[in-house]
Amino acid sequence: MKRDSRLNEKQIRILLDYFDRSLGGETQADIAKSHGINRKTLSLWANSDHGKQKHNEWKKEATRDAIPQYYDVLKEKALSGSYKHMELFAKVFDLLSAEKKEIVSKEEKLDPVKDGYTSEDIAELDALLYTDEERKQMKEKEEQEIREKAELEELRKIAGEKNPYIKRVK
C-alpha cells in the first residue's frame, strides 16, 4: 500500500476501532486478528498518510471533552504560583511569545564598592528592612542615647569643676 493512498470505509472503521482498543491496552496483533487481517496490514494502514490523518482526527475528538478540564487545572496551578504553569498558561493563550527573548537594560549599573550608596539607595533598603514602627523605635532609642551622652558629659563637667584632680574622660 502506498503511503499517500486513501483508505476505504471498512479500513477506516477498523483503524478507528484499533485506536479505541489500543488505548485500552490491547495489542495491535490481537486487534488485527479480531478483524481477520494481518498485524502488518493494520500497521501499514495506520502508518499511511491517510491513517495518520485519521489518527490525528481521532485524538482531537477523544480529547475534545477534556480540554476545558485541562484549562481549569492549568489555570488553578498558574494562580497557585507555579512559575512553569504560569508560563504554559501564557503560551497556550498567546499571552507570551513562544520564543525566548533577552531583555537588555540600558540602565547604567553603579558599583556600590567604588561609588558608595546614594541616599535613595539607603532609603530604599531602610524601607525594605524596617517597618514604620521599627524605624520610630530606632529613632527614639538614638535620641535617648544622645540625651544620655549629653547628661553624662554635663555630669563629668560639673564633677571636674568641683574636683581639680578628676580628669575629663571622653
Query: Do the Cβ atoms of 84 and 74 come closer than 8 Å?
Result: no
Mean pLDDT of all residues in the chain? 82
- The confidence score (pLDDT) of residue 114 equals 73
- The confidence score (pLDDT) of residue 100 equals 65
Dist. CA 116–CA 147, nearest whole Å: 31
Cα separations in angstroms, 120 against 40, 58, 66, 124, 126: 76, 62, 53, 6, 10
Dist. CA 27–CA 18, nearest whole Å: 9
- The confidence score (pLDDT) of residue 144 equals 94
Cα separations in angstroms, 152 against 37, 149, 155, 167: 107, 5, 5, 14
Of residues 97 and 65, the one with the higher pLDDT is 65
Least confident stretch, 27-36, 42-51, 86-95:
86-95
Residue 170 has pLDDT above 70, yes or no: no
Least confident stretch, 11-20, 104-113, 121-130, 136-145:
104-113
Ramachandran sector of residue 101 (left: φ over 0; alpha: ψ -120 to 50; beta: rest): beta
Tens-digit pLDDT profile for residues 10-41: 999 999 999 999 988 999 999 999 999 999 99
- The confidence score (pLDDT) of residue 92 equals 78
Residue 169 has pLDDT above 60, yes or no: no
